[in-house]
Amino acid sequence: MALATTSLIRRGSELSNVGVQRQLLQQDAAVLSLPQFDEQLMHSGIGELRPLSPSILQINLGKMCNQACKHCHVDAGPDRTEIMSREIMQQCLDALDASTISTVDLTGGAPEMNPEFRWFVEQLSARGVMVMVRCNLTIIVANPKYHDLPQFYAEHGVHVVSSLPFYDATYTDRQRGGGVFHDSIRALKMLNDVGYGIENSGLLIDLVYNPVGALLPGPQASLEKEFKRNLSDKHNVVFNSLHCITNMPISRFLEFLVNSGNYERYMRTLVDAFNPAAAHGVMCRTTISVGYDGRLYDCDFNQMLEMPVASRVKHIAEFDEAQITSRMIATDRHCFGCTAGSGSSCGGQLA
Amino acid sequence: MKTYYDPADLPKFGTISQLQPELAEKFFDWYGAVFAEGALTQREKSLIALAVAHAVQCPYCIDAYTTDSMQKGATEQMMMEAVHVSAAIRGGASLVHGVQMMNKVNEVSM
């Protein structure tokens, strides 16, 4: 498998500095004529973005990954070493024990590369927590020590959610690296073999589509039909649902936008496609995001832009559900990515 | 006006309603209904639009329906095949008139 790119940090790119990214989103000449996200919320009558009671704890287990996709908002890759310790995981478990949150969404990087990953899933599973894992598929076939992941997921009833930007190799490999499509199909077959995606098995494998370029995602229902038909006919693999996710102007996708001359047009497209219905359903209203170091954020995107929660409670060790639910959600121009068109969240389209 | 075509004019399409609002409203309503999912999928309609855009050689339409086709999940191969369909009909439309030419030749020849 050939990497699609390398991390911004490794290349010494100025965009590896989060301050430079935020400056681009706020001050760059390309976006000066565009509204700020909070202005748009006011203008459309939605007002301030307030959280509802949290139902999902999304935990980023680290930036380490076997892939280095061109659009990664985490700037993840094989060279990244930041991962969550067992101590922070224990703090997450303690917070969950004192909370009404019933779903945990594990992400990364490749969360499975964290050596404490299986211990953590076992602990969550023993508590009856619904566990979702953002699995990049190729990790399953990357090394023999990961070959039994499908069985491990099945034993714990893990809901697997996996990126596959297209149902053929050309587009998938262009974004995610040479050989990724082939390896992803192998991994999907292994997941199907233990029951994932098979009717009445109770084991769910959802795929995530995101555009390979400066485009908004198309209609989720019709793309799902195309994915199902093509993957079944040509590769004999099945899955449950397709989630369409908009690429966020953060980190390596922001780099692509700037370098390809698409930044201004893409931001304008996101703003022009602002959909109030999608804004009501944004995931930051019901999700709390935890960084590998235990810090709390409104979502994984704010986490990567190092925009902490606007709350006295800033770390999972001091988690207090009532306190954190009374906060205001922190926003910036990247938030237009979640409200464009049919909207976008880690669970797909919103409206 | 320095050029006849400016990409910045494409998003201004809606402003044609300023001089004739009633007809523009009917047009945009109809336009929206035409491209809704029906017996043809939205992707099929977008590819037809892309082919027609090449036949009428409208740069606005080529810009809009290349983007739209990609957003609807069309591949590069699909889009180029659509352009070939457009070219084949244009070329074929000329060539099939060769029969008319031959008819005339037969009419006037000894």
B70 vs A: CB within 8 A:
yes
- Domain topology for A14-339: TIM Barrel (3.20.20)
The angle at the Cα of A294, spanning A289 to A295, to the nearest 5 degrees, equals 65
* Chain B environment of A217 (Cβ under 8 Å): 71
pLDDT digit string, tens, across residues B36-94: 989 999 999 999 999 999 999 999 999 999 999 999 999 999 999 999 999 999 999 99
**What pLDDT is recorded for position A295?**
98
**Would you call the peptide bond into A213 cis, given omega within 30 degrees of 0 as the criterion?**
no
Instruction: Convert the pLDDT of each residue in A2-49 to its tens digit.
Output: 898 999 999 999 999 999 999 999 988 889 999 999 999 999 999 999
CA geometry: angle at A314 spanning A282 and A59, to 5°?
Answer: 55
pTM: 0.91
pLDDT, position B2: 86
Contact (Cβ atoms closer than 8 angstroms) between residue A1 and residue A110: no
* Joined tokens for residue A274: 């602002």
Phi, psi of A70 (to 5 degrees): -65, -25
Instruction: Please list, in sequence order, all residues whose beta carbon lies within 8 angstroms of the beta carbon of residue A111, skipping any fewer than 6 positions away.
Output: A61, A62, A117, A133, A134, A135
Name the residue with higher pLDDT: A343 or A60. Answer: A60
- The C-alpha of A218 sits at a distance from chain B's nearest C-alpha, in angstroms, of 5
Q: Find the helix packing angle between A220-235 and B42-55, rounded to 10°.
A: 100
- Beta-bridged to residue A259, according to DSSP, are none
**Between chains, do B42 and A217 touch, taking CB under 8 Å as contact?**
no
A350 band by pLDDT with thresholds 50, 70 and 90: confident
Confidence of residue A345 (pLDDT cuts 50, 70, 90): confident
Q: Do A272 and B11 touch (CB under 8 A)?
A: yes
On whether the CB atoms of residues A349 and A220 are closer than 8 A, the answer is: yes
B11 contacts in chain A (CB < 8 Å): 272
Query: What is the residue extent of each domain of chain A?
Result: 14-339
pLDDT of residue A351: 74
Closest Cα in chain A to B75 = A171
What pLDDT is attached to residue A344?
85
Q: What is the mean pLDDT of residues A169-187?
A: 95
- Is the reported ipTM for this assembly greater than 0.85? no
Please provide the average confidence, as pLDDT, over all residues in chain A: 95
Q: Which of the residues A167, A222, A342 would you substitute to probe the B interface, choosing the one with the greatest number of B C-beta atoms within 10 Å?
A: A222
pLDDT greater than 90 at residue B8: no
